[in-house]
A = this chain, B = another copy of it.
Amino acid sequence: MKRTSPIHIDWKPDRKNSKPVYQQIIQFVCDKVASGEWPIGTRLPSQRKMAELFGINRSTVTTAIDELASYGIIVGCHGAGTQIASNTWSLLLSPAPDWSRFISSGFFQENNNTIQAINRLEFVPNIMRLGTGELDPRLFPSDMWQNILQKVSRQVTSLGYLEPLGLLELRKAISAYMEKLGIIAPPSCILITSGALQALQLISVCLLQSGSTVFTEAPTYLKSLQVFQSAGMKLSGVPMDKEGMQYWKLASALKADRLQGSSILYTIPTNQNPTGITMPDSRRKDLMNFCVENRLPIIEDGAYHELCYDGQPPIPLKAIDKTGTVIYLGSASKTLAPGLRIGWIIAPEPIVQRLGDVKMQMDYGASSISQWIFAEFLESGLYSKYLSDLKCELRRRRDHALAVLDKYYQELAEWNIPIGGFYIWLTFKDNVQMERLFEKAAKAGILLNPGDMYDFERNNSLRLSYAYTSCEEFENGIVKLAQIIKEIM
B350 touches A103 (CB 8 A): yes
A111 touches B357 (CB 8 A): yes
**A37 CB contacts on chain B under 8 angstroms:** 186, 188-189, 324, 348-349
Residue picked from A36, A111, A138, most chain B C-beta under 10 Å: A36
B10 touches A94 (CB 8 A): no
Interface size on A, residues (CB 8 A): 122
A146 at the interface (CB under 8 A from B): yes
Choose one: B101, B160, B208; the contact of A262 (CB below 8 Å). B101
Among the listed stretches A191-199, A426-434, A447-455, A457-465, which one makes contact with chain B, having 4 or more residues with CB under 8 Å of it? Answer: A191-199
Q: Can you list the 4 inter-chain pairs with the closest CB atoms, starting with the nearest?
A: A339-B368, A159-B339, A36-B324, A137-B158
**A231 CB contacts on chain B under 8 angstroms:** 107
B208 touches A39 (CB 8 A): no
B42 touches A348 (CB 8 A): yes
Given contacts A206-B108, A321-B36, A361-B225, contact A137 B164 (CB under 8 A): no
**A88 CB contacts on chain B under 8 angstroms:** 322-323
* Chain B residue at smallest Cβ distance from A163: B123
**A4 CB contacts on chain B under 8 angstroms:** 350, 354
A89 vs chain B, min Cβ distance (A): 12
Question: How far, in angstroms, from A145 to B369 measured CA to CA in the complex?
Answer: 11
Choose one: B99, B362, B364; the contact of A338 (CB below 8 Å). B364
B146 touches A160 (CB 8 A): no
A110 at the interface (CB under 8 A from B): yes
A94 touches B358 (CB 8 A): no
A297 at the interface (CB under 8 A from B): yes
Among the listed stretches A18-26, A147-155, A247-255, A477-485, which one makes contact with chain B, having 4 or more residues with CB under 8 Å of it? Answer: A147-155
* Chain B residue at smallest Cβ distance from A354: B103
A316 at the interface (CB under 8 A from B): no
- Sample 24 A-B pairs with CB under 8 A, ordered by A number: A7-B350, A32-B349, A36-B323, A42-B350, A43-B350, A95-B295, A99-B324, A101-B262, A102-B264, A107-B231, A122-B161, A123-B163, A140-B158, A149-B149, A149-B150, A150-B153, A158-B339, A160-B337, A160-B338, A194-B367, A195-B363, A340-B367, A341-B363, A367-B370
